[in-house]
C-alpha cells in the first residue's frame, strides 16, 4: 500500500488527534483483531495445504502459495499496525517496520497476481510448452527472485527517501519524493496491472474459444480424458479470474485516492485510510474465495481440522 508523496513537516503540523470514547476504542480494536485473525488463519490454512499435500505442488498453486505468504505478512504485520495507526498514534520504530513490511507485502501481492495471469495465459495459449518447460521448480525460482528483487527495491526506495531516519512525532508519515513516487507507481501498480488486464482479456477469449471447440469435439466422440483436462484448465482460469477481479476491485480505490485527491485536501487522510483498509481486506478475502470455489482447499481444510495431516504418508492423500 504505497502512499502519495508528501512533506514531513507539513504532515506533522497538519496532524490532529480526535478523542474517542472507550466504547468506540473497544469496538475498533475488536473489529481490527477479528479481521487480522481471519486473515492470518485463512492464509495459514492455504500455506499448510499447498505445502503439505504433494498433489497440490503445481505451478499455479506455487503462485497461490506465494500470494498466501504475502497476505499472511499483511495479516500479521501490516493490518494490525495500520488499523492501530488509524485508531491512534504509533511510535517511530513501529512506523519503520510498518512502512517496510507494508511495501514488501503489498508489492509482492501485486506482482504475484501478475505472475498468476502470466501462468494462466501460458497454460491456455501454449499448453505443450507449459507442460514441458513450466515446472514447480521453475515457478519457485521465479517467485524467489521476485521476492528478493522487491526486498532490495523497497528497502532502497524507503532508505533514499529517509524513511528509516526522519520520523514525524506521534504520526506514521511516509516520505516519498515525486520522482520516487512515479517510479514506484510504474513498478508496483501500472505495469503489473496492465499485464494483468491484457493477459486475462486474452485468457477469457481463449476460454471462450476452447468452450466452443470442446462442444464440437464432444459431437465427434472426443476422449473423456481430454474433456476433463480442458475443463480443468478453463475452470482454473475462471476461478483465478475471480480472484484477480476482486484484487483489482480492492486495489484501485487506494491508488485513485492517491492520484486524484490532493494532499492539501482536509479529507485526504480519512479517505486514504478508508481506501487503505478496503485494500488490506483483500488479504482476508482471498482465502474465502479459495474456500468457496476451490474443492482442493475444502478437502484440505477437512483433513487439517480432523488432524489427518499428522498421519503417516498424509502428504500423498488425494485432495483433488
Higher pLDDT, 263 or 63: 63
Interval 258-273 mean pLDDT: 70
pLDDT (tens digit, 9 = 90+) per residue, 158-196?
A: 888 877 775 555 566 677 777 888 888 888 888 988 888
Interval 141-156 mean pLDDT: 92
Q: What is the pLDDT of residue 15?
A: 43
The three cell numbers locating residue 226: 481430454
Show Cβ contacts of residue 93 under 8 Å, excluding neighbours closer than 6 positions. Answer: none
Alpha helices for the chain (secondary structure H)? 8-14, 22-52, 59-73, 79-87, 92-125, 127-133, 136-160, 178-184, 191-219, 224-260, 268-280, 282-293, 295-305
Q: What is the pLDDT of residue 144?
A: 92
pLDDT (tens digit, 9 = 90+) per residue, 190-234?
A: 898 888 888 888 887 777 776 676 666 665 554 544 455 555 556
pLDDT (tens digit, 9 = 90+) per residue, 228-254?
A: 555 555 666 666 677 777 877 887 887
Per-residue pLDDT for 52 more than 50? Answer: yes
pTM comes to 0.76
Q: What is the mean pLDDT of the chain?
A: 76
Q: How far is CA 273 from CA 87, 184, 255, 268, 270, in A?
A: 10, 20, 12, 8, 5
Give 148's pLDDT tier (boundaries 50, 70, 90). Answer: very high
Amino acid at each position: 500500500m504505497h502512499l502519495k508523496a508528501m512533506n514531513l513537516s507539513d504532515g506533522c503540523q497538519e496532524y490532529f488527534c480526535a478523542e474517542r470514547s472507550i466504547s468506540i476504542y473497544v469496538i475498533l480494536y475488536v473489529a481490527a483483531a477479528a479481521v487480522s485473525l481471519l486473515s492470518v488463519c485463512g492464509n495459514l490454512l492455504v500455506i499448510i495445504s499447498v505445502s503439505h499435500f504433494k498433489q497440490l505442488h503445481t505451478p499455479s498453486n506455487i503462485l497461490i502459495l506465494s500470494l498466501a505468504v504475502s497476505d499472511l505478512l499483511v495479516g500479521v504485520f501490516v493490518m494490525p499496525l495500520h488499523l492501530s495507526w488509524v485508531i491512534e498514534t504509533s511510535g517511530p520504530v513501529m512506523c519503520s517496520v510498518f512502512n517496510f513490511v507494508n511495501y514488501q507485502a503489498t508489492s509482492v501481492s501485486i506482482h504475484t497476481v501478475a505472475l498468476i495471469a502470466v501462468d494462466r495465459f501460458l497454460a491456455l495459449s501454449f499448453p505443450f510448452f507449459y507442460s514441458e518447460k513450466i515446472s514447480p521448480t521453475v515457478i519457485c525460482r521465479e517467485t524467489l527472485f521476485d521476492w528478493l528483487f522487491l526486498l532490495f527495491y523497497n528497502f532502497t526506495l524507503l532508505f533514499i527517501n529517509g524513511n528509516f531516519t526522519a520520523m514525524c512525532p506521534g504520526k506514521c508519515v511516509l516520505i516519498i519524493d515525486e520522482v520516487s513516487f512515479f517510479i514506484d507507481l510504474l513498478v508496483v501498480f501500472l505495469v503489473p496491472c496492465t499485464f494483468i488486464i491484457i493477459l486475462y482479456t486474452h485468457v477469457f477469449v481463449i476460454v471462450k474459444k476452447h468452450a466452443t471447440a470442446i462442444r464440437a469435439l464432444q459431437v465427434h466422440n472426443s476422449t473423456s480424458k481430454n474433456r476433463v483436462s480442458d475443463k480443468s484448465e478453463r475452470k482454473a482460469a475462471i476461478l483465478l479470474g475471480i480472484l484477480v477481479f476482486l484484487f483489482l476491485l480492492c486495489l484501485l480505490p487506494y491508488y485513485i485516492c492517491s492520484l486524484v485527491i490532493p494532499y492539501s485536501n482536509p479529507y485526504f487522510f480519512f479517505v486514504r485510510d478508508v481506501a487503505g483498509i478496503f485494500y488490506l481486506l483483500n488479504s482476508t478475502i482471498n482465502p474465502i474465495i479459495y474456500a468457496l470455489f476451490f474443492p482442493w482447499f475444502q478437502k484440505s481444510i477437512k483433513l487439517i481440522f480432523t488432524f489427518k495431516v499428522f498421519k503417516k504418508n498424509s502428504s500423498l492423500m488425494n485432495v483433488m
